[in-house]
Chain A
Amino acid sequence: MKKYMFKRILFSIFSLLVVVMLVMLLVYSLIERNVIFQQDDVWNKRNNNDRRMYEYAQFQKYGYLNYVDYTSFLREKYMSKYGESYDKEADFATDRGVIQKPDDVWQNPTVQEFKAKYEAQGYKLDYMEPVRYKSGKLKAGGNGYLVAVQEKSVVLRLWDYMKNFFTIETSKDVDDPNLTERYVHFEKDPYSGLFALTGSGTTHKYLLYFDSRFPFIHQNFLRLNLGTSYTTYRGSEITQVISSPTGVAEKVRQQYPAMVGTDEYVETAIDFHSVTYNPNTSEAELAQFGDNYSSYTTRKTGLSMLETSFIIGIISLIIAYSLGLPLGILVARRKDKLADKLGNAYIIFIMAVPSLAYIFLFAAIGTTLFNLPYKFANSTNKALAFVLPVISLALPQIGSLMKWMRRYMIDQMNSDYVKFARAEGLSEKEIYRIHISRNALIYLVHGIPSSILFCLTGAIMTERVYGVPGVGNLLTTAINKHDNGIIVACTVFYTSLSILAVILGDVLLAKYDPRISLSSEGGGGR
């Protein structure tokens, strides 16, 4: 069993990598890269070589290529030679000015050095000659530039991505020679009253702590970097985007670290558990925070995107299972009677009608008959705003659970063991409750982990229709905005969830039904 699971997990990681590589191929190679400038005002305003330099900068940011500007190479070279005031030296000025003289540029020894250094690393040189009017005057944005460009191959891109996937904080993270005390240990947490794992020299001060916010126990020592958004959430890490709370700042009566132990309290929205190391801490901040951990995030009243989606998903899932399964059993018991016909009509409605149609139908009924809020953002009562999305998600799930439960129940009803149980004199109620429904459930058990895990990905249509600030539309908006970082991050997220779901489903199935063994190699069957 252990060997089997190990093989499965290894294979899962392999297929995850291949999926990520495929998606990278799709988004980076198949799609024309210039589309990212379609709605870019900066790009429109720039001309000639300036525009090309801007393109290089953007392409690097979007992960298409790496490039090195000759000017930055020069700066580095002369900085090490002359120190801070390098730009006043004469040879720096000649080396910099040569770029504007297309006839002399390749004779310059520094340019040759630049060329030799980067061509050896597989870069290609791109020299943009100065663009001039006939009079010799430079056109707007016509300065000459020299850059070394390296196109990223898929393997390199994947390697760059995987390299930064996990980061574990240690007490050597902060690069500050003035910091003498470096440790990671447990101590009493003045904010929760319980203990917390704290560090000095780590990026975060609190590595493991408790607070009153769901899921009550939090950690900062292991960071998962799924990727960076380029356009939709400019420059933010996606894990941060989806997991940090939204809404307005929430002021709480609390103490700065320096006030702990005194009677002094202040009204502030600072989340003291979130403090990170700030090398430029001012004297005033030092007095308040007691140490260099003075960068912070604020407490927000709202839920994070992930929480919003998960709450809607999990509530509708609970409703769906607690209604769908009993209803499925009910219609199976009343096969070909009125209840079964009504149930069938509902199943057909849910299966056949486009989901968009019934979501809007539920929206129309809910808003006109029950006066429920329609758009999430406009509603004053946040709890009521959840009602329609939850119903819209739960009703189709009830339909599909009913469908399968009914189907498997009816299949089981003709089995020999049911006839035997009936011959033994068991009551119909016992037969259905103890024998049939438990055997019919075997087929549904496999799907439970995946339906729980996929609450984390949100629902595309429901969230769009009701304007829910969740994660469901992360991928679709990213595709529309060519936000390659989010696309890759979403793929990794969804793929890991689905792989995990299948493994958990198999384990649960094997636990629920002891006849099923995962590791044996059977002839036929499933």
Chain B
Amino acid sequence: MNEKKKVPQSSEDLFQFIDSNSISSEKIVAPRYSYWKSVFRVFFRKKINIFLIAAFVFILLVAFIMPNFWKYDPNENVTNAATFNLSPAKALKYFNNGAFSLKWCLGTGALGNSIFYGIVASSQTSLLLAIICAAINMSIGIVIGAVWGYSKKLDAVMLVIYNIIANVPYILLISVLVYVIGSGFWSFIFALTVTGWLGIAYFFRTQVMVIRDREYSLASRCLGTPVNRVISKNILPFLTSVIVTLLATELPSYINMEVFLSYIGVGLSATVPTLGRMIQQGQTAFMTFPHAFWPPVAVASAITIILYLLGQNLADASDPRTHM
């Protein structure tokens, strides 16, 4: 107060006394912070993400709506050998007198099937497969991984199970399962998910173990926070960006896995159109008829790259350290 009296007279007019307000002094003034709002703010700060989302929505719409109008029948020209392996120009000439048509704009495959319609129908299968498998594996894997990482008793048991199951060659497991329960869409998903969650759970276990022994978590436990609250409030929020990173690699990995399994002959049944089968059929003659090979490869790559980039960027944005 003494200092205030030393202020020169001239500037006294510039200042004013304000009454102290006991109510507002109770409030801690800080900028309002909402986690998810900040995530999206950081996410949309990168302009490429808007483009990626637009592309992904476009692919989703085409893959899920258009097959209803463009019925894909791989055997429609199977009796007409003149239609086999036509390059785009020849196919347009043969079917449409040289005029442009979407159906034949990518030529025909080894059995006279339309490659464009095939790709659209296959993208639907691949996307569905990736989304469902990722959803199942991620949710089971994260829940079990969280408990596994938290409980030391469970850890010993689960490690034995993990060491054993992880060593059974997964190609063998999938092909035996496909053989036993059939190679339909849902059987295939079962084969991919029956042990698929184990790897995710193991990865997640390690992450949880690191966070579990951090000081703040220890303090919370000392204060008597129940286990489920420690897991859901102390540990899981910290791992959101890890979960999203995992999702970014998991989603494309199922599309790649399907391509790989089709290539080695352990794929979905022949009635379900998939990108893997189209690539597999195209690769046998990829030097002579490249038009049947590269388009499905390009679409599969485009889908996986978009998913991967979206996931990575969302993971970056969901790390609170980037919210400054």
Contact = CB atoms under 8 A, between A and B. Distances in A.
Interface in A354-382: 354-357, 360, 364, 367, 374
Given A15-B163, A525-B213, A354 B304 contact: yes
B172 A357 contact: no
B167 interface: yes
A525 B167 contact: no
Interface stretch (B63-71, B221-229, B248-256): B248-256
Nearest to A26: B176
A526 B206 contact: yes
A319 B301 CA distance: 26
Interface stretch (A16-24, A76-84, A220-228, A250-258): A16-24
Contacts of A355: 256, 260
Interface in A493-526: 494-495, 498-499, 523-526
A352 B169 contact: no
Contact of A353 (B163, B290, B301): B301
A491 B170 CA distance: 10
Contact of A26 (B172, B286, B300, B305): B172
Given A31-B180, A354-B255, A354-B300, A461 B168 contact: no
Contacts of B116: none
Interface stretch (A108-116, A238-246, A474-482): A474-482
Given A356-B263, A464-B264, 17 more contacts: A22-B165, A22-B168, A26-B172, A26-B176, A27-B176, A30-B179, A354-B260, A354-B304, A357-B301, A364-B290, A460-B171, A473-B264, A479-B175, A491-B168, A498-B167, A523-B213, A526-B209
B168 A357 contact: no
B300 A357 contact: yes
Nearest to B303: A352
B283 A491 contact: no
Contact of A374 (B160, B263, B287): B287
Contact size class for B?
35 or more
A354 B213 contact: no
A490 B169 contact: yes
Nearest to B280: A356
B259 A354 contact: yes
A348 interface: yes
A133 B286 CA distance: 57
B121 to A, nearest CB: 18
Contacts of A26: 168, 172-173, 176
Interface string B164-205: 110111011101100110000000000000000000000000
A499 B305 contact: no
A354 B176 contact: no
B309 interface: yes
Contacts of A526: 206, 209-210
Interface string A188-204: 00000000000000000
Nearest to A478: B172
A421 interface: no
Nearest to B293: A360
A374 B286 CA distance: 12
8 contacts: A15-B163, A31-B179, A352-B308, A354-B279, A360-B293, A491-B167, A525-B213, A526-B206
A305 interface: no
A524 B213 contact: yes
A351 B308 contact: yes
Contact of A479 (B160, B266, B309): B266
Interface in B223-265: 249, 252, 255-256, 259-260, 263-265
Interface string A423-466: 00000000000000000000000000000000000001100110
Contact of B301 (A354, A374, A523): A354
Contacts of B168: 19, 22-23, 26, 491
B169 A475 contact: yes
B171 A475 contact: yes
A498 B167 CA distance: 8
Interface in B274-316: 279, 283, 286-287, 290, 293, 297, 300-301, 304-305, 307-309, 312
B263 A353 contact: no
| Of B169, B176, B263, most A-chain CB atoms within 10 Å | B169
A190 B131 CA distance: 67
Nearest to B163: A15
A450 to B, nearest CB: 13
Interface of B: 160, 163-165, 167-169, 171-173, 175-176, 179-180, 206, 209-210, 212-213, 249, 252, 255-256, 259-260, 263-266, 279, 283, 286-287, 290, 293, 297, 300-301, 304-305, 307-309, 312
A465 B260 CA distance: 12
A352 B260 contact: no
A487 interface: yes
A476 B265 contact: yes
Nearest to A351: B308
Contact of A475 (B172, B176, B179): B172
A64 to B, nearest CB: 16
A16 B168 CA distance: 10
Nearest to B179: A31
Given A360-B283, A360-B293, A499 B167 contact: yes
Contact of A356 (B160, B164, B260, B308): B260
Contact of A352 (B210, B252, B264, B286): B252
Q: Which 4 A-B pairs have the closest CB atoms?
A: A524-B213, A352-B308, A353-B301, A354-B259
A473 B266 CA distance: 13
Interface string A36-76: 00000000000000000000000000000000000000000
A476 B264 contact: yes
Contacts of B176: 26-27, 30-31, 479
Given A23-B172, A491-B168, A499-B167, A461 B206 contact: no
B250 to A, nearest CB: 12
A450 B286 CA distance: 34
Given A360-B286, A526-B206, A526-B209, A19 B164 contact: yes
Contacts of A30: 176, 179-180
Contacts of B286: 360, 364
Contacts of B167: 15-16, 19, 491, 494-495, 498-499
B208 to A, nearest CB: 10
A464 B163 contact: no
Contact of A476 (B171, B300, B304): B171
Contact of A15 (B164, B256, B265, B304): B164
A354 B305 contact: no
A20 B171 CA distance: 15
A349 B256 CA distance: 13
A348 B305 contact: yes
A526 B255 CA distance: 30
Given A351-B249, A356-B283, A479 B171 contact: yes
Nearest to A479: B175
A15 B156 CA distance: 14
B297 A480 contact: no
A222 to B, nearest CB: 24
B307 A22 contact: no
Nearest to A19: B167
Contacts of B309: 348, 352
Given A356-B279, A524-B213, A464 B263 contact: yes
Nearest to A27: B176
B164 A352 contact: no
A30 B213 CA distance: 44
Given A30-B180, A464-B264, A357 B279 contact: yes
Contact of A524 (B179, B209, B283, B300): B209
B284 to A, nearest CB: 11
A123 B309 CA distance: 62
